[in-house]
Amino acid sequence: MAYPNLIRWGGLAGILAGLLYFVGYAGMAELLLPLMSNLGRHVVLGLAGVATMLALVGVLTQDAGRSARLGTAGYGLSFVGEAVFSVGNLAEGVWHAEFGVVLFGVGLMTLTVGVVVLGLGVLRAKVLPPWSIWPLIGGWAAFLPVANSPLVFGFAFFVLSLLAAGMLGVGWVVVGYVLWSGRSASARQPARVR
């Protein structure tokens, strides 16, 4: 572990990302309508994206190449997807640009695939404890199909999408906590006895 401060800051960014995803998506679902405008919702989700990129740097630093090709592919897809997702949110919210919706969708799909692949690579390499990775994988996998469904299908999907956003937020908070506290899976494995 060459950069413990970078890992800890990545953990703090992960906790912040989890909270911002939930607040931003609750705002998008108009749950916080009197408190948050359309611009505010998109800016909060854009900030969640920036915090996620910083959290990914913490996970990457903790990994230190142990997750091999699967992890490398997951990191690449996650970074690119998160950047496109954030730019799409900001373009749609700040400049009311229609292409922001397309960027948001492409970024969300790329990010979801990237985080699931990354999570599987990190699980396989035992970089972080499994109990910290599964909520993140489940959160992204549940969030993608229902991300914009309340706009199309109504109240029943509103509840599902809010639960998926909550699961996504919890996933990042848990990963952030593990990074921040220094509880990696490899640190708890016993040394070999000769």
Average pLDDT score over residue span 109-133: 90
> Residue 155's pLDDT is what?
64
> Residue 170's pLDDT is what?
92
> Residue 187's pLDDT is what?
46
Residue 105 binned pLDDT confidence (cut-offs 50, 70, 90): confident
Pull the structure tokens for residue 185: 């899976």
Residue 147 binned pLDDT confidence (cut-offs 50, 70, 90): low
- SS3 labels along the chain: CCCHHHHHHHHHHHHHHHHHHHHHHHHHCCCCCCCCCHHHHHHHHHHHHHHHHHHHHHHHHHHCCCCHHHHHHHHHHHHHHHHHHHHHHHHHHHCCCCHHHHHHHHHHHHHHHHHHHHHHHHHHHCCCCHHHHHHHHHHHHHHHHHCCHHHHHCHHHHHHHHHHHHHHHHHHHHHHHHHHHCCCCHHHCCCCCC
Name which residue leads in pLDDT, 66 or 143: 66
Tens of pLDDT, residue by residue over 3-55, are 888 999 999 999 999 999 888 877 766 666 666 676 777 788 888 889 999 99
> Residue 193's pLDDT is what?
47
pTM: predicted TM-score of the whole model, two decimal places:
0.82
